[in-house]
Amino acid sequence: MANLLQSNSAPGAPGNPLNWSRADKDAIGTARSLSSQVWYTTAGGILTEIYFPDVDTPQVRDFQLIVTDGSTFFHDMQKDFTYQCTFPEPQALSFQLNSQAIGQPYTVVQDVITEPGASCLLVRTTLQGAQPFLDKLHVYALLAPHMAGYGADNTAYRVSTPNGDRLVATRANYWLALGADRGFGVTSCGFVGVNDGWTDIIANKRLPVWNYDSAKGGYVALTAEIKRAPGQNEFVLALAFCIDEATPITQTSPNNALTAVSEALSYPFDGPAGTYSHLQAFIQGWKAAVPTSFVPKPGTTGDGDSLFNKSRNILLSHEDKTADGALVASLSIPWGRTITDLACGYHMVWPRDMCQSAIALLAAGEEDAPLRGLMFLASSQSADGNFHQKFFIDGEPWPGDCSQLDEYSFPIILAYHLSQAGLLNQFDPTGMVLAAARALIINGPMTQQERWEELEGYSPSTLASNIAALVCAADQWADPTTAQFLLEYADFLEAHLEAWCVTTQGTLLPGVSQHYVRILPTHVKGGARDFGFPEDPNVVQVTLWNQTYNARDVVDAGFLELVRYGVRGADDPIIVSSVKVVDAIIKKSLPQGPGFYRYNHDGYGQGDLGQDWYVGCSFGVGRPWPLLTGERGHYELAAGNDPKPYIQYLEAFAGSRGLLPEQVWDLPNLPNTPFVTGGPTGSAMPLAWAHAEYIKLVRSASDNRVFDRLDVVANRYQPTAGGTPRAASTLEVWNFDRQLPSMAAGKTVRIPLDAPFRLRWSIDNWNTWQDTTAAATALAIFYVDLPTQAAQAGSSLTFTFFWTATQTWQGENFTIALHL
């Protein structure tokens, strides 16, 4: 049992709260091994969030070195060095930090990997400079644990072991242990901002005075001097993790983490061929990651496929190692320096982002990971067929869960891609697909939130995915009767696209009055229940970031998804005019190439003075998203143009780090900040969705065909040259969220609900009435169709419900006026 020393405990609990770290990472990494359940990141020249035992649980805020000669300088690795992050082995997610001291003649080189066989991070540090100078240096490791995602209530100890002192930290049943191959000299456990190592050495400009052996219940930091004999310029730090549950007869213990440290330090970090070393094992694991990877045609990319290969590995590194197939959105916490403790970072599963990653991995030649992803989503699906907006890998949703219908659609589309590729093996997704299709109908036709997670209503991008998913489900997994039911609903959505999402009174671009809008807002799912809100983008208003605008004057490029999946052609006149409006309103020329804003009037992004965005701030400004440049590249290919310039634009946005950010800075370089024109902001980086978009664009350009295009969708909605166009649907849908006030006489109104019912209805104000029992479907949707005749214009359908399962009446009547 570990000997936790605590006779000299630090005063000053709980210490100063620490926020998280920068989100614009320089690199991320993990071993390509299920045995190594550690993920790590770096930004600003130090290690930032480190995750264990899964990809959604950060355990460390940051991990860095302090260097001093004891009298004339006291160097913080974040502030007193210029650094470069380099990648000596492009095929692996290892990296090297080269940090040059400002004003002093020495360099610190750190090589960072994880041990493939254990949950242990390894950092090999080499000091470079004149030996007499180096021998004067004191080097300290400084670690800020945030165990289980919390900085509060952490406890740290010095531990005496047969291999020398180690430092450990814990919260609940999580433990970490820190050791060095050279051993530790002076150590201390303290409270942040009170008596931690940074305060002791950097703030007080002295060699450490405090040597507390424990700090209990607060924001703690661990400090350890590295023992170095003269001439010893290299050392290895090992940081290992474990979970240890207490039992009725034992306490929770760091023993497993301490053992992992000792084992890791017993083998060389690097060594000659033919002998085991951590670095070579790490590299070999990544070289074997995708044995049948797709190779783009020569000349497709502008960098010799470097970003393509790295993007594939970045997506693979975002997969969990215990919940197989779970792919998180980003190993970062956007604007993390504004957030304390458990953060709604991007290290969670969004079904939309996850499916983008899984389909991109399929495009990159990976066969197993996309199927694992589909099976994970199937196991995470709610009993009613829904998918949570975002959730931890154990399935627990983040508070404030909202329904996003595109996230119900993408798992169906992923399943269809795998089926078409013959890669489902023995997994049958029928149950998942049909349950998701049911959820699309029951929860539609408007979405509670669209892909930007802000507004309720009819969104072109959401509708594109809904239509495509329903057609895919009908084509592959439904019996003929159910398939017809699904297709009729898809046709209903498709027939309403222009009425819901196209203004004919646009004013944004002179000469272009007809174009897609960002969204036709509705107000029925958030408690308002405003059924009188007209389904007309010409007249309604939309509220964005506490400001109100005409819906016809707010645009995004989400309509391009209609082209991507085959619902509309690239040459559709309204698509073409909408592209012109996008270019005039939300396109931004940058040195790297064109960037695109999510939409005009966006408030989700860095302030103009570089302020970090936070919920409720008044200064946020949405910045260009590189993934939207990729979406435009897909459109250009579909339109018969060359997409390769867009591939190169994305490569330029990735920069020397080879990472694509969520957003890029669109103003001139901002002095004394990291913000340069076209470079990352404080939003998420890397963003898995952006790397997925790049991979799919490269694959599409190489194949000369949009990889996401679904022929089964295009064949239904885009007639071949000379072919007869399919007759537009005459179906209208009424449900308790879409209480249709009126419709054209001659159409059929369908009422699909999730419980059995009998409809009592009248066309003559109850002078006569009929009862119609709802038909049951294999989807557990019950529906009644009420056809109308053109001659009935001027009359009204009136109806109410008798719920057969409970033998109760609805207790109110509903009316649909019929007009010409």
C-alpha 219/C-alpha 143 separation (Å) is 11
With beta carbons less than 8 A apart as the criterion, state whether 575 and 565 touch: no
Neighbours of 498 (CB within 10 A): 16
C-alpha 296/C-alpha 695 separation (Å) is 10
The yes-or-no answer on residue 453 being catalytic is yes
With beta carbons less than 8 A apart as the criterion, state whether 225 and 138 touch: yes
> CB neighbours of 534 closer than 8 A, spacing ≥ 6?
540
Please list the alpha-helical segments (H only) found in 29-128.
none
3-class DSSP state of 176: strand
C-alpha 128/C-alpha 106 separation (Å) is 6
With beta carbons less than 8 A apart as the criterion, state whether 27 and 235 touch: no
C-alpha 622/C-alpha 601 separation (Å) is 8
List Cα–Cα distances, 611 to 228, 268, 693, in angstroms: 42, 44, 28
> CB neighbours of 516 closer than 8 A, spacing ≥ 6?
460, 501, 502, 555, 558, 559, 574, 575, 578
Q: Which of 148, 94, 150 is nearest to 122 (CA)?
A: 94
C-alpha 589/C-alpha 49 separation (Å) is 33
- In sequence order, the β-bridge partners of residue 51 are 39, 58
The yes-or-no answer on residue 367 being catalytic is no
C-alpha 342/C-alpha 397 separation (Å) is 14
Q: Would you state the structure tokens that stand for residue 775, as one six-digit string?
A: 């038909």
Locate tokens 């798992």: which residue? Answer: 411
> CB neighbours of 116 closer than 8 A, spacing ≥ 6?
31, 32, 33, 35, 36, 278, 281, 282, 285
| Marked catalytic residue, from 450, 456, 631, 662 | 450
φ, ψ dihedrals at 488, nearest 5°: -65, -40
C-alpha 763/C-alpha 237 separation (Å) is 80
Please state whether the peptide bond connecting residue 14 to the residue before it is cis, i.e. omega within 30 degrees of 0: yes
807 conformational bin, left if phi > 0, alpha if psi -120 to 50, beta if neither: left
Label the pairing between strands 742-744 and 814-819: parallel
With beta carbons less than 8 A apart as the criterion, state whether 214 and 157 touch: yes
φ, ψ dihedrals at 182, nearest 5°: -85, -10
* H/E run at residue 285: helix 278-287
Catalytic residue list: 450, 453
